[in-house]
Amino acid sequence: MSDITAPAYRVIPIIPALKPGAMEGKGPFVASGKINEAIGFPGQLVEDWHDRAIAKMGELLSKYRSLKVYMDACVHCGACSDKCHYFIGTQDPKNMPVARQDLMRSVYRRYFTLPGKLFPKLVGARDLTREVLDEWYNYFHQCSECRRCSVFCPYGIDTAEVTMAAREILDSIGYGQKYSNEIIGKVHKIGNNLGLPGPALGDTLEGLEEDVKDATGFDVRFPIDVKGAEVLLITPSADFFAEPHIDSLIGYAKVFHATGTSWTLSSMASEAGNFGMFIGNYEQLRKIALRIREAALELGVKRIVVGECGHAWRVAYSFWNTLTGVGDGADPNDKFAQMLQKQLDHRYKQPMHICEFTWDLIERNALSFDKEANDKHIITFHDSCNVARGSRMGDFAGGQFDIPRNIIKAVANNFVEMSPETIRERTFCCGGGGGVLTDDLMELRVKGALPRMEVLQQVVDEHGVNFMATICAICKAQFTKMMPIYGFDRRMVGGVHQLVSNAIKLGKE
Amino acid sequence: MASAFFAVLFYLATLAFVVGLLYRINVYARTPAPLKIPTTPAPTTRGGVVLRMAREVVLFESLFKANLWIWSMGWLFHASLALVLLRHLRYFTEPVWGWVALIQPFGLYAGFTMLLGLCGLWVRRLFVERIRYISTPSDHLMLVLLIAIAVSGLLMQFAVHTDVIAVKSFFLGLMRFDIQPLPADVLLAVHLLLVLLLLAIFPFSKLLHAPGVFFSPSRNQADDPREKRHLSGWAKQLESESDK
Q: How does DSSP assign A416-466, residue by residue?
A: ----GGGSGGGPPP-S-TTT--SGGGHHHHHHHTHHHHHHHHHHHHHH---
Q: How far apart are CA B199 and CA B18, in angstroms?
A: 9
Q: Which of residues 407-446 of A touch B (CB under 8 A)?
A: 425-426
Under 8 Å CB pairs connecting chains A and B tally to: 228
Taking an 8 Å cut-off on Cβ atoms, the answer to whether B229 and A321 are in contact is yes
pLDDT value for A507: 80
Return the axis-axis angle of helices A49-63 and A159-172, rounded to nearest 10°: 140
Taking an 8 Å cut-off on Cβ atoms, the answer to whether B244 and A290 are in contact is yes
Task: Tell me, yes or no, if A396 comes closer than 8 A to chain B by beta carbon.
Answer: yes
Taking an 8 Å cut-off on Cβ atoms, the answer to whether A76 and B225 are in contact is no
Strands A263-264 and A303-306: what pairing?
unpaired
Taking an 8 Å cut-off on Cβ atoms, the answer to whether A63 and B212 are in contact is no
Considering only CB atoms, which chain B residues are within 8 Å of A124?
136-138
Q: How far apart are CA A478 and CA A494, in angstroms?
A: 11
Return the bridge partners of A233, or none.
Answer: A305
Higher pLDDT, A192 or B113: B113
Taking an 8 Å cut-off on Cβ atoms, the answer to whether B239 and A336 are in contact is yes
Please check the confidence at residue B242 and state whether its pLDDT lies above 60.
Answer: no
pLDDT band at A503 (very low <50, low <70, confident <90, very high): very high
Element (H, E) at A493: strand A493-495
Considering only CB atoms, which chain A residues are within 8 Å of B125?
78
Average the pLDDT over A85-112 and give the result. 97
Q: CB neighbours of A287 closer than 8 A, spacing ≥ 6?
A: A188, A276
Q: CB neighbours of A205 closer than 8 A, spacing ≥ 6?
A: A222, A223, A224, A240, A265
pLDDT value for B2: 84
Q: How far apart are CA B183 and CA B2, in angstroms?
A: 9
Of B36, B39, B141, nearest to A147 by CB-CB distance is B39
Task: Tell me, yes or no, if A345 comes closer than 8 A to chain B by beta carbon.
Answer: no
Nearest CA distance, A347 vs chain B (angstrom): 12
Strands A467-470 and A352-353: what pairing?
unpaired
Q: Give the three-state DSSP class for A303.
A: strand
Taking an 8 Å cut-off on Cβ atoms, the answer to whether A398 and B134 are in contact is no
pLDDT band at A13 (very low <50, low <70, confident <90, very high): low
At A264, the amino acid letter reads: T
- B23, B207 Cβ separation under 8 angstroms: no
Considering only CB atoms, which chain A residues are within 8 Å of B62?
79, 151-154, 156
Q: Give the three-state DSSP class for B44.
A: coil
Q: Which of B17-21, B106-110, B148-152 has the lowest mean pLDDT?
A: B106-110
Nearest CA distance, A210 vs chain B (angstrom): 37
Of A64, A329, A400, nearest to B40 by CB-CB distance is A400
| Whether the predicted interface score ipTM is above 0.85 | yes
Task: Tell me, yes or no, if A112 comes closer than 8 A to chain B by beta carbon.
Answer: no
Task: Tell me, yes or no, if A338 comes closer than 8 A to chain B by beta carbon.
Answer: no
Return the axis-axis angle of helices A496-503 and A354-363, rounded to nearest 10°: 40
pLDDT band at B233 (very low <50, low <70, confident <90, very high): confident
How many percent of chain A have pLDDT more than 70?
98
Helix, strand, coil: what percent of chain A each, to 5?
A: 50, 5, 40
How many percent of chain A have pLDDT more than 90?
94
pLDDT value for A10: 82
Nearest CA distance, A266 vs chain B (angstrom): 19
Q: CB neighbours of B187 closer than 8 A, spacing ≥ 6?
A: B152, B155, B156, B160, B162
Neighbours of B78 (CB within 10 A): 16
Taking an 8 Å cut-off on Cβ atoms, the answer to whether A322 and B32 are in contact is no
Please check the confidence at residue A1 and state whether its pLDDT lies above 60.
Answer: no
pLDDT in tens, B2-25: 899 999 999 999 999 999 999 999
> B135 to chain A: nearest residue by CA?
A76
- Which candidate, A315, A301, A267, A369, places its Cα nearest to that of A145? A315
Return the bridge partners of A495, or none.
Answer: A470
> B64 to chain A: nearest residue by CA?
A152
Please check the confidence at residue A8 and state whether its pLDDT lies above 90.
Answer: no
Q: Which of residues 161-220 of A touch B (CB under 8 A)?
A: 161
pLDDT value for A16: 79
- Which candidate, B172, B175, B109, B112, places its Cα nearest to that of B147? B112
Considering only CB atoms, which chain A residues are within 8 Å of B78?
none
pLDDT in tens, A202-245: 999 999 999 999 999 999 999 999 999 999 999 999 999 899 99
Burial of residue B228, with CB atoms counted within 10 A of its CB: 0-12 exposed, 13-18 middle, 19 or more buried: middle
Helix intervals (H) in chain B: 2-30, 46-54, 61-66, 68-87, 98-127, 129-134, 137-158, 164-175, 186-201, 209-212, 217-220, 233-242
Taking an 8 Å cut-off on Cβ atoms, the answer to whether A397 and B216 are in contact is no
> A424 to chain B: nearest residue by CA?
B41
Average the pLDDT over A260-266 and give the result. 97
Higher pLDDT, A418 or A196: A418
